[in-house]
Amino acid sequence: MRNVGHLISVIKIIQGTYSDLFVLNLQIADGMAYLGANNCIHRDLRARHIVVGPNNEVKVAHFQLARIIRGN
């Protein structure tokens, strides 16, 4: 599958294919876990802030409200 665009538009194209949606959601969760492991809080995660590239490669975007966590 080669859908490109924001998550909302891609979901409309692939509606009904749960395995594809599961893979997209798994990648979003992995991206958010990566941010957390690197002391970053996104603070504005929405479907329109997720970009899906060729071969269903997901990228978290829109970091205007993101914050870096320093220390404990």
Catalytic sites, residue numbers: 44
Nearest to 52 by CA among 23, 19, 15, 24: 24
Beta strands 40-41 and 50-52 are unpaired
CA dist., res. 8 & res. 50, Å (int): 8
